[in-house]
């Protein structure tokens, strides 16, 4: 299909596996930051970690007056924070980022720097009434159970993530935090193999899941001419509900990268939406438009910085986002990387010269 972007190979899948298994709950992104640094630090012209913990890496271009393009992927994931030691091995905890508390009961988690094993417990079926089982178990009745020994090694404020281990199953990728390790892995590949025409300003951002906080300062610092957020977005793609057509699928697995026109925080620059679609059409890279609606990406913070920055977002679709396991397709990841690479390679100031 194209020469510059090779199919995703086992080395890249192994990197995604490491990224997925690492734990980087918002505000404590060290593990993922360390993996990224190891992968790209020697390959970029400038590398720094800013005050909030964002990685800002620059790949210069030999072209004259290259467009300065920021590509952002958030490193953080949803998870938990210990709130109170209740002695005997239990901790009361809070969620970090958007988590449906119905997803939590019985899930194994890894706690603190040492990844100590814990489980989110609740009373079992034997000891609950039929009436109780009709209701969601409120957060204040859930505990992370670490056992008495390990509970001494952690403290309130420590974070915990789902304990899910990454798996490749046929065409599918299953793991926790694929939102947004798929984006991180994609951006690492772009940094290693950048299009020659643009100055690539790579931002691996922090605290996206708690309100696009890292991207805001990253965009201010990088001050790009154009920006693209690379993320992961839910696919809710059952064919129908109750015999009726599913009109609220958001995206579909296997249909290619999801281009954003509008979400809760951003109206994508229509010129960039057109540019991505035209690139996909010209090179026969499949893509889909994400259904406009809720949700958001780092683009929501980026476009408002300084005198304004034209933005668009592209996401790898995945089922069951913000739960203990997400399911994505290798081909969608491959096509996301290809669409981004070629869209950047074909991006010129002429795209932004037309009236918005």
Partner 1 sequence: MKALIQKLVETFGPSGYESAVRDLIQTEVANFADEVRTDALGNLIVRKGKQVKDGKRIMLAAHMDEIGLIATHIDEKGFVRFTTIGGIRAHTMFGGRVRFVTGVAGVIGGERLENPEKVHGIDKLFIDVGATSKADCPVRIGDVAGFDRPFLDLGKRLVAKSMDDRVAVAILIESLRQLKKSPHELYFVFTTQEEVGVRGAVTAAYGIDPELGIAVDVTLCGDTPKGNKMAVSLGKGPAIKVKDSGMIADPKVVGWMCATAEKAAIPYQLEVLEGGSTDARAMQISRAGVPAGCLSVPCRYVHSPSEMVDFEDVQYSVALLVEMLKYPVNGS
Which of the residues are catalytic?
A: 208
As a whole number of angstroms, the distance between CA 31 and CA 130 comes to 43
Only one of the segments 81-89, 203-211, 302-310, 341-349 lies at the binding site for partner 1 (rule: CB under 8 A); that segment is: 302-310
Q: Which of 11, 64, 102, 248 binds partner 1 (CB under 8 A)?
A: 248
**CA end-to-end distance (rounded Å), the chain:** 31
Q: Is 303 among the residues that bind partner 1 (CB under 8 A)?
A: yes
- Number of chain positions touching partner 1 (CB under 8 A): 25
Using alpha carbons only, what angle is made at residue 345 by residues 339 and 39, rounded to the nearest 5 degrees? 75
Neighbouring-strand partners of residue 289: 259
Q: What track of x and - describes contact with partner 1 for positions 310 through 329 (by CB under 8 A)?
A: x-------------------
218 binds partner 1 (CB under 8 A): no
The reply to whether 306 sits near partner 1 by the rule CB under 8 A is yes
CB of 270 to partner 1, least distance (A): 7
- 156 or 308: whose CB is closer to partner 1? 308
Q: Which is nearer to partner 1, 311 or 338 (CB)?
A: 311
The beta strands (E) that lie in the chain are given as 46-49, 55-59, 67-74, 79-85, 90-96, 108-111, 116-121, 143-145, 159-162, 167-169, 172-175, 198-205, 226-234, 240-241, 244-245, 258-259, 288-289, 311-318, 326-329
Residue 87 binds partner 1 (CB under 8 A): no
Smallest distance from partner 1 to CB 170, Å: 29
- Does 52 contact partner 1 by CB under 8 A? no
* Residue of 289, 322, 330, 331 interacting with partner 1 (CB under 8 A): 289
Stretch that binds partner 1, among 66-74, 186-194, 267-275, 330-338 (CB under 8 A): 267-275
Q: Which is nearer to partner 1, 134 or 247 (CB)?
A: 247
Using alpha carbons, list the distances in angstroms from residue 89 to 82, 112, 144, 159, 273: 12, 14, 8, 16, 51
Euclidean distance between CA atoms 145 and 116, whole angstroms: 11
Task: Please tell me whether residue 291 binds partner 1 under the rule CB under 8 A.
Answer: yes
Residues 51/182, Cβ–Cβ less than 8 Å: no
**Binding segment toward partner 1, per CB under 8 A, in 63-71, 77-85, 142-150, 290-298:** 290-298
Half-sphere exposure of 14 (CA within 13 A, CB side): 4
Query: Is-contact 36 204, C-beta < 8 A?
Result: yes
Helix, strand, coil percentages, rounded to 5, for the chain: 30, 25, 45
Q: How far apart are alpha carbons 225 and 179 in whole angstroms?
A: 26
DSSP label of 239: S
CB of 245 to partner 1, least distance (A): 5
Residue 247 interacts with partner 1 (CB under 8 A)?
yes
Question: Which parts of this chain interact with partner 1 (CB under 8 A)?
Answer: 245, 247-249, 261-262, 265, 267-268, 270, 273, 289, 291-293, 303-310, 355-356
């Amino acid at each position: 299909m194209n020469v510059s972007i090779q199919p995703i190979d086992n080395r890249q899948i192994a990197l995604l596996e490491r990224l997925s298994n690492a734990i980087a709950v918002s505000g404590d992104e060290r593990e993922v930051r360390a993996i990224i640094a190891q992968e790209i630090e020697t390959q970029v012209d400038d590398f720094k970690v800013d005050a909030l913990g964002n990685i800002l890496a620059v790949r210069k271009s030999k072209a004259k007056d290259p467009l300065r393009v920021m590509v952002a992927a958030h490193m953080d994931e949803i998870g938990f924070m210990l709130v109170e030691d209740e002695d005997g091995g239990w901790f009361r905890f809070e969620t970090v980022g958007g988590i449906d508390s119905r997803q939590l009961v019985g899930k194994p988690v890894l706690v603190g720097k040492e990844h100590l094993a814990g489980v989110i417990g609740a009373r079992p079926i034997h000891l609950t009434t039929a009436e109780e089982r009709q209701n969601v178990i409120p957060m204040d009745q859930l505990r992370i159970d670490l056992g008495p020994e390990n509970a001494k090694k952690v403290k309130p404020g420590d974070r915990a993530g789902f304990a899910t281990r990454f798996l490749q199953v046929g065409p599918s990728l299953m793991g926790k935090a694929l939102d947004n390790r798929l984006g991180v892995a994609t951006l690492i590949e772009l940094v290693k193999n950048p299009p020659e025409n643009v100055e690539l300003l790579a931002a691996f951002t922090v605290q996206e899941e708690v309100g696009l906080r890292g991207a805001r300062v990253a965009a201010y610092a990088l001050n790009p001419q154009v920006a693209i957020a690379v993320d992961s977005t839910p696919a809710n793609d059952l064919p129908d509900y109750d015999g009726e057509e599913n009109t609220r699928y958001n995206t579909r697995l296997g249909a290619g990268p999801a281009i954003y026109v509008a979400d809760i925080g951003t109206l994508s620059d229509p010129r960039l939406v057109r540019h991505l679609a035209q690139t996909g059409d010209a090179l026969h890279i499949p893509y889909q438009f994400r259904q406009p609606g809720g949700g958001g990406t780092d683009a929501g913070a980026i476009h408002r910085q300084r005198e304004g920055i034209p933005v668009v977002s592209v996401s790898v679709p995945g089922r069951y986002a913000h739960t203990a396991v997400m399911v994505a397709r290798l081909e969608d990841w491959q096509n996301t990387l290809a669409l981004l690479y070629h869209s950047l390679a074909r991006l010129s100031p002429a795209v932004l010269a037309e009236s918005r």
